[in-house]
Amino acid sequence: MSASLEPRRPFFLDCDTGIDDALALGYLLASDTVDLVGIGTVSGNVSAERGARNTLDLLELSGRADIPVAIGNAEPQRGTFDGGALHVHGANGIGDVLLPESATPVVDETAAELLVRMAREYAGELHLVAIGPLTNIAEALRLEPQLTTLVKTVTIMGGAAMAPGNITPVAEANIGNDADAAAEVLAADWFVTLVPLDVTISHRFEESDQRALVESEQTVPVALGQMLDFYFDFYVGTYGERASALHDPLAAAIAVGDIALKSAPVVSVLVDDTDGPGRGQTICDLRGYLVGFPEQPGAHCRVVLSLEQDFAPTLLAALLTL
């Protein structure tokens, strides 16, 4: 990527690293307008502890062991962590690719504490990107109710507006794995950009993208390309061929402001936190779709439904700079 004249802006990433989380981390590290000031991990694709290990190893590989990583919640607000999505992301969460182990320890704070500290340090400036279950974010809101004004933007990969869910017929994983936390975070008094399955499933890496990463002979892109092998196998069940959805990196790129949005109405969004079959559903009020989504008083969630262009080439170009 060419050097930008824009000053770098502080970003905080909360993740459950995960193959597509690794792509999102790569995207943020590649951006010359982003200063990644902290990372929290949460149980989702893998345990919060395993997610932190993967994150530290990826940072070491990228020469960015200076970025603080904090382990967050091991368990959702209610119930217990189900062990993760190892069938999607591999037993170690990163497609069973073995990275050199980083010797850098996690910081001596929880993910919520680190987020609150960074939000105070960069008051009014911090961009929050959440690409795992929202357990840590809900905890941070309880720790510091002013978080809603301390943070400048909030971008969440999660939910399914009109698309089906991916862990139940209606629930997407990041929302469904802690529906209580998600309900709190989406009801809080801040503006949220939600990047749901509707758009993330429509943008994908093909085998040619994976080949470009692996054949680059650059350490980080090669490792990311190798991880995609496992992810591609899982997505045969979704797409009928080897490819991968670009959930988390798309949310990261939208948070950075690199992507032109085509349809992204600001509407009311409620999370179903009941114990019925709708648990984890993001109920988005899209009734105005035939008339250009008229303003909904009180709505504070922008739901990204489509983009102006294909995201894959942007992502590939960014990752190849690592």
**So which residues are the catalytic ones?**
16, 247
3-state secondary structure (DSSP) of residue 79: coil
- In the list 10, 18, 51, 84, the residue contacting Ca ion (rule: CB under 5 A) is 18
The letter for the amino acid at 127 is: H
CB of 89 to Ca ion, least distance (A): 9
- In the list 9, 11, 18, 110, the residue contacting ligand BDR (rule: CB under 6 A) is 18
45 contributes a contact to ligand BDR by CB under 6 A = yes
CB of 21 to ligand BDR, least distance (A): 5
Burial string for 130-162 (b: 16+ CB within 10 Å, else e) reads: bbbbbbbbbbbbeebeebeebbbbbbbbbbbbe
56, 104 in Cβ contact below 8 A?
Answer: yes
Q: What is the distance between the alpha carbons of residues 267 and 274, in angstroms, rounded to a whole number?
A: 21
- CB atoms < 10 A from the CB of 106, how many? 21
- Which of these, 86, 99, 83, lies nearest to 25 by C-alpha position? 99
> Residue 118 or residue 227: which is nearer to ligand BDR going by CB?
227
271 contributes a contact to ligand BDR by CB under 6 A = no
- In the list 36, 97, 131, 170, the residue contacting Ca ion (rule: CB under 5 A) is 131
CB of 301 to Ca ion, least distance (A): 19
> Residue 94 or residue 150: which is nearer to ligand BDR going by CB?
94
CB of 143 to ligand BDR, least distance (A): 23
178 contributes a contact to Ca ion by CB under 5 A = no
Tokens of 15: 């993740």
The crossing angle, in degrees rounded to 10, of helices 312-319 and 247-256 is 80
- CB atoms < 10 A from the CB of 195, how many? 29
227 contributes a contact to ligand BDR by CB under 6 A = no
Q: Residue 166 binds which one of Ca ion, ligand BDR, none, with CB within 5 to 8 A depending on kind?
A: ligand BDR
Residues that bind Ca ion (CB under 5 A): 16, 18, 21, 131-132, 248
